[in-house]
Amino acid sequence: MDRPPKLRRQLIRYPGFGILFVIWTLLGALAWARHSLVSGGPQGNLLPDLLGFLTCYYPWLLFSPLVFRLERTYPLDGRKWPKHLVILALAGLPLSYLASGIGGTLSAGIQHILRQPYGPNPWWPISVPELALEQALYWLAVGGGFLIRSLIGLHEKERLTSQLALEKAELESSLRQAELETLRMRLNPHFLFNSLQNISTLSQQDPKTASQMLTRLGDLLRMALKGDIRAETPLEKELALAQAYVAIEKMRFGDRLSVLIDIARGTERALVPSFLLQPLVENAIRHGLQGDGKSGLIWIRSILRGHEIVLTVSDNGRGMPVEKFEDLEVGIGLGSTCQRLARMYGDKHTFSMQRLPEGGTEVRIVLPLRYKSTLPETPSREQPAPADRR
C-alpha cells in the first residue's frame, strides 16, 4: 500500500522580529496620526514628533515574545483564568515600568541627536500617563498573544482531524484489503480441493487422463499464484485463467463440455476482481452438466454499457432450484465472490442470478468501467453477436 502523503507543516506561528517591528510601527504611526488630528495638526517638525511617539511602542519589540510566553503559560481561557489574570496583571507592572524607562531613554537620545531639549530623567519619578500608556500596550500584547494562540490551537485541531481522517482511511483500506485477501484465500483452496477430488476419482478410471489433468492443474496454479497478487486484474488475464481451468475440465468431460467466449472490444483491459470468473465457470459447469450424458454449454460474455462493464456466465442446465437468488443456498465459491464484490464496490455494482427462459442459469455482474492506466481508444458500443446455444 502506498504511504500517505506527508501532512503540511503548521503554518500559523508567533510573529518574528520583522513582523513585530512592522506591527508596532503601524500602531505607533496610527496613534501619532490620531493625536495630531485631535490636537489640530502636527506640532513642530513631523519627524521628531513621529519618532517621539514610536519610542513608546518600540520597547515592546523586545517584550512581546516574553508577553506571548506569559500568556501561553497562564492562559485566560481555562478554568484558572481568574488566578492567571492576577499573575498577568502583576507581571505587567514591571514590564510597563521598564518599557516606559526604555521609551523615555530612546526619546531623550533622539532629541539629543536632533539637538533638541529633552525632559527629565525618564526612570524616576515615574510618569503616570506614560505608565498608563505602557500598561495599555502590555494588555494589547496579551490580547494579541491570546488571539495568535487561539488560531494556532484551531489550526492544530484541524491538522489533527485531517491526520486522524487520513489514518482512519488508511486503516479501513488495510482492513478491506485484508478481508479481500482472506476471501481470495478461501477461493484458492476450495478450487484446489475440488480439482484434486476430481483427479482422484478419474485416476481409478483413466490414470493417463488424470496424470494430464494433474499437470494442467500445476500450470494453472502457477498462473494463478505467480507475480504480485492484486485485488483487481485486467479481464484478459481472468479469461486466460478461466480458459486454463476449462482445459482441465474438458479433459474430464470431453465433448460433453463446450465453452463459448464472447468478449466485446474495449473490455479486455478493463479491471475486474482477481479470481472472479473461475468460481462462476465452475458453478456453471457443475449445473450445466447435471444428469448422465447431458452436454453442457457455458457462455462467457462481456459487453459495454455506458461507463459500466457487464459480465455474464450462463449455462444450459436445469436452472436454479429456487425462484429468487436470495433464497438460494450458495457455496464457498459464489458466497465469497458476492462478499468480495460488496466490499470492493459497495453499491456501485450489481450481482444477479436468474433462470433463463430457454433453460439454464445466468449470473450477471455489472461493474464500473475502469482501466489500469490510460483509457483505450473509444471502444465500440456494439453488442456482441449472439452465439448459437443449441
- Identify the pLDDT of residue 354: 87
> What is the rounded distance in angstroms from the CA atom of residue 167 to the CA atom of residue 7?
11
Q: If you count them, how many residues does the chain have? A: 390
**pTM of the predicted model as reported, rounded to 2 decimal places:** 0.49
Calculated CA dihedral for residues 187, 190, 193, 199, nearest 10 degrees: -80
Residue 365 sits at φ, ψ, to 5 deg, of: -125, 125
33-59 pLDDT, tens digit each: 887 777 665 555 677 778 877 888 889
- Identify the pLDDT of residue 229: 60
Comparing 200 with 125, the larger pLDDT belongs to 200
Q: How confident is the model at residue 381 (pLDDT cuts 50, 70, 90)?
A: very low
Mean pLDDT across the chain: 78
353-367 pLDDT, tens digit each: 888 888 888 999 999
Long-range contact pairs involving 199-205 (C-beta distance under 8 Å, separation at least 24): 202/252
Q: Say if residue 376 is preceded by a cis peptide, omega within 30 of 0.
A: no
160-183 pLDDT, tens digit each: 888 888 887 776 666 566 555 555
Q: Is the pLDDT of residue 125 over 50?
A: yes
* Identity of the amino acid at 385: A
Q: Is the pLDDT of residue 382 over 50?
A: no
Give the chain's domains with CATH numbers. Answer: 17-166 (no CATH), 206-368 (3.30.565.10)
**Residue-by-residue DSSP string for 63-101:** HHHHHHHHHHHS-SSSTTHHHHHHHHHHHHHHHHHHHHH
Q: Is the pLDDT of residue 3 over 80?
A: no
Calculated CA dihedral for residues 310, 315, 320, 324, nearest 10 degrees: 10
Tell me whether residue 321 is exposed, middle or buried, using C-beta atoms within 10 angstroms of its C-beta: 0 to 12, 13 to 18, 19 or more: exposed
Q: Would you tell me how many other CB atoms lie within 10 Å of the CB of residue 180?
A: 20
Q: Is the pLDDT of residue 127 over 80?
A: no
259-290 pLDDT, tens digit each: 999 999 989 999 998 888 888 888 888 776 76
Tell me whether residue 262 is exposed, middle or buried, using C-beta atoms within 10 angstroms of its C-beta: 0 to 12, 13 to 18, 19 or more: middle
The three-class DSSP label of residue 234 is strand
Q: How confident is the model at residue 9 (pLDDT cuts 50, 70, 90)?
A: very low
